[in-house]
């Protein structure tokens, strides 16, 4: 018997990386999953490989109406929503004096606008059951976990766009926590440090993704990667599975009194100008 038995979870960007590890961990503990990825075929493959009940919404969540369709997929498949993990995202790095309007806007769209739209679309399916439960004197906790980054909490050179989007996620999280705490909807964020994914892999010609016909270069220079032991007291970057563990905690019953918080998952990383 799992601690998340009969819970329904939406995890965006869940066909690979941290999202995939999170989906697998939630499923392992009994949750039913909505798997999402920009690549529909990859989302279908992930759903077929993850044990437990799954449904799939493939497509670009920044498109008009996509967040509503994602939520509809969950309701059509499982008739409710208990957990939302807003994880989908990527990076377009450049120093600010060389950064285009498009590169800045794309980071706001995926990291801030998409979580807002997903939460707004899910609102009736979270708030209305909670109102009925409150009238009955019953406490049922639901969970929203927004993925931020220490780039958003402390800044990071070359990531003005990403840092701005991830900082906004913190403000969104804390505001929603104030609005929805009355409904026993825990709203928290995780701020990841250096986690080994394609976003922090070596920056080479093969580490790219396609969005709207545009090739986006991912990864970081090898010289920077070599600095990991000096920057992280644990001595290495984190794994997607370790990152997923923090998300799982905020989705679990053990976090019922954790609300409006940002959980730093960094290995103690020494970066940024504030704490």
**Catalytic residue, candidates 57, 162, 192, 194:** 162
Count Cβ atoms within 10 A of the Cβ of residue 258 and give its class: 0-12 exposed, 13-18 middle, 19 or more buried. middle
Q: For 231, list phi and psi in degrees, rounded to 5.
A: -90, -25
Distance of CA 272 to the CA centre of its chain: 21
Burial class (CB within 10 angstroms; exposed 0-12, middle 13-18, buried 19+) of 206: exposed
Pairing state of beta strands 208-211 and 214-217?
antiparallel
Contacts of 68 (CB under 8 A, 6+ apart): 117, 121
Give the C-alpha separation, 9 to 81, whole Å: 6
Distance of CA 222 to the CA centre of its chain: 26
Q: How many residues does the chain have?
A: 275
- Angstrom CA distances, 148 to 44, 180, 222, 261, stand at 26, 20, 24, 11
| Cβ-Cβ contacts under 8 Å for 86 (sequence gap 6 or more) | 12, 114, 115, 118, 119, 144, 145, 146, 147, 169
Alpha carbon dihedral 54, 60, 65, 68, in 10-degree steps, equals 20
Torsion of CA 123, 84, 42, 208, to 10 degrees: 100
162 is catalytic: yes
| Catalytic positions, written as ranges | 162
């Amino acid at each position: 018997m799992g601690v998340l038995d009969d819970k329904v979870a939406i995890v965006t960007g869940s066909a690979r990386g941290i999202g995939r590890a999170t989906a697998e961990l939630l499923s392992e503990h009994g949750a039913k999953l909505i798997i999402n990825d920009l690549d529909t075929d990859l989302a279908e493959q992930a759903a077929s490989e993850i044990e437990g009940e799954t449904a799939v919404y493939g497509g670009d969540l920044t498109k008009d109406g996509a967040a509503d369709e994602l939520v509809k997929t969950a309701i059509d498949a499982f008739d409710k929503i208990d957990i939302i993990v807003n994880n989908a995202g990527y990076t377009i790095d450049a120093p600010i004096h060389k950064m285009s309007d498009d590169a800045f806007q794309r980071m706001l769209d995926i990291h801030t606008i998409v979580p807002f739209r997903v939460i707004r679309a899910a609102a009736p399916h979270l708030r209305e059951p909670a109102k009925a439960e409150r009238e009955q004197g019953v406490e049922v906790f639901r969970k929203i976990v927004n993925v931020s980054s220490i780039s958003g909490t402390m800044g990071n050179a070359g990531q003005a766009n990403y840092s701005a989007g991830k900082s906004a996620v913190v403000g969104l999280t804390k505001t929603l926590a104030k609005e929805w705490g009355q409904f026993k909807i825990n709203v928290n964020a995780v701020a990841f440090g250096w986690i080994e994914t394609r976003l922090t892999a070596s920056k080479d010609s093969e580490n790219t993704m396609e969005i709207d016909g545009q090739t986006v270069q991912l990864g970081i220079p090898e010289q920077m990667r070599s600095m990991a032991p000096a920057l992280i007291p644990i001595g290495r970057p984190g794994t997607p599975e370790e990152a997923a563990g923090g998300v799982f905690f905020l989705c679990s019953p053990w976090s019922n009194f954790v609300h409006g918080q940002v959980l730093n998952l960094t290995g103690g990383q020494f970066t940024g100008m504030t704490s």
